[in-house]
Amino acid sequence: MSNSRQKLSPISLLVILCAAQVLAMAGFANFAVLLNDFTALWNLSSTQAGWIGGIYFAGYVVAVPFLVGLTDVVDARRIYLFGLLCGIVGSVGFGLFADDFLSAMVFRFLAGISLAGTYMPGLQILNDRLKEDYRQKALPWYLSAFSLGTAASYYFTGLAGAMLPWSEVFLLAGAVQIVCLLLVYFTIPVKHPDRSNPSDRHPLDFRPVFKNRTALAYIWGYTGHTYELFAYRAWIVAFLLFAASASGAAISRESVAGFAALFSLLGMPASVIGAHLALRRGRRQTVSLVMILSILTGSILGFAGTLAFGLVLVVAALYSIFIMSDSAALTGGVVAAAREGERGATLAMHSVMGFAGGFLGPLVVGLVLDLSAGPGSVTGWGFAFMAMAGGSLLALTGVRWLLQGAKS
């Protein structure tokens, strides 16, 4: 089962992986929080800023079929450690060498590969080491650690950005990722893949996933979810700075980053509660209701940008809660629908399609801002957030259609 390390209890394993996920995401929000600085420093358009925000998820999408697909035949721990190495290079490289649009794209792409090598492989570490009854209980907590990691990245980037040059903020993120690598290497035991029932399917053959209509439904829902979620996380700081200026509120960037962190933290209980309701009340009904609420709230938020800043914060918080409420429910649906021997491939396709949405979301919002009235106008932000909420509309339509006729 393992090398010199003793087998961990389910709770200990979950706690370590949740902590590792938070540390691995140290660089997640660096660019989003410091976006206005880079826009001025490198004379970036909103579309270019959207490209840099989105290329992170493009790196994820390119790498995840290989890295997660391989976890059916390779210990996911090895993939996780590789992902952390990519993150360290991405963060440290950005801090030392990024000086324009293209160089920023390269290092954020590497950072996205890091997420591909840690997020779903971390879930596979749990799947490989826990029995089925523990998996469904542990899953929403592990997925919620993503929100905690996002929140921590927003908060500490804002805090560090107020005291340090931007380059040192990225170097600090790299140092945290090194700590994460040491944590995983010295605490997670090795587990060799089970070869007692070998499959003829190549680990990178994803065709069986497309024949699993139920899994595909929740994968599609996750695609719309991540489109909306990462568009929100890429642009929320810039939007709140606009809203604060428009309302005359005297608030610093680090305070705005703190609000963004708080909104991400609210996503943690929202995701856990959503997963619980999905098991108790029905997965399809739960995700459908959440998506409708997300569409309505997102369509309002941008046009509310010139109202009292406190009211804008309330609507932004509600939008974050609704976006995150179906996250674990959707991923739980994919895990439950995945066939034995195809779990890695199913999660890989789940991540590919999902984070393809994550790549498009920030880019589409930036493009809408440039094509409309711009980021200095409430009209521009109104249309941008409507485009953002379109993710839930596409998700809702696809989930309901694909589940029709699918076996439960």
pLDDT at residue 405, as a whole number: 62
Binned at pLDDT 50, 70 and 90, residue 2 comes out as very low
Mean pLDDT of 15-22: 95
DSSP of 225-294: HHHHHHHHHHHHHHHHHHHHHHHT----HHHHHHHHHHHHHHHHHHHHHHHHHHHHH-HHHHHHHHHHHH
Asked if 187 contacts 318 with a C-beta cutoff of 8 angstroms, the reply is: no
pLDDT at residue 4, as a whole number: 40
Q: Write the pLDDT tens digit of every residue in 360-399.
A: 898 899 999 999 888 889 999 999 999 999 999 999 999 9
What letter would DSSP give residue 188? S
Binned at pLDDT 50, 70 and 90, residue 61 comes out as confident
Q: Write the pLDDT tens digit of every residue in 178-189.
A: 999 999 999 998
376 phi and psi angles, rounded to 5 deg: -100, 10
Asked if 44 contacts 169 with a C-beta cutoff of 8 angstroms, the reply is: no
Distance CA 45, CA 32 (A): 14
Q: Token pair for residue 360?
A: 């498009």
Domains and CATH numbers, the chain: 10-188+209-403 (1.20.1250.20)
**Length in residues, the chain:** 408
Q: Is the dihedral of CA 392, 343, 349, 31 positive or negative?
A: positive
* Torsional class of 394: left (φ above 0), alpha (ψ -120 to 50), beta (otherwise): alpha
Q: Tokens 């995983």 identify what position?
A: 184
Cα angle 28, 224, 404; round to 5 = 145
Q: Write the pLDDT tens digit of every residue in 189-228.
A: 888 766 555 555 566 667 778 888 899 999 999 999 999 9
The candidate with the shortest Cα–Cα distance to 350, out of 196, 207, 223, is 223
* Torsional class of 374: left (φ above 0), alpha (ψ -120 to 50), beta (otherwise): left
Q: Between these two residues, 407 and 241, which has the higher pLDDT value? A: 241
Distance CA 71, CA 343 (A): 9
6: number of Cβ within 10 Å: 8
What letter would DSSP give residue 9? P
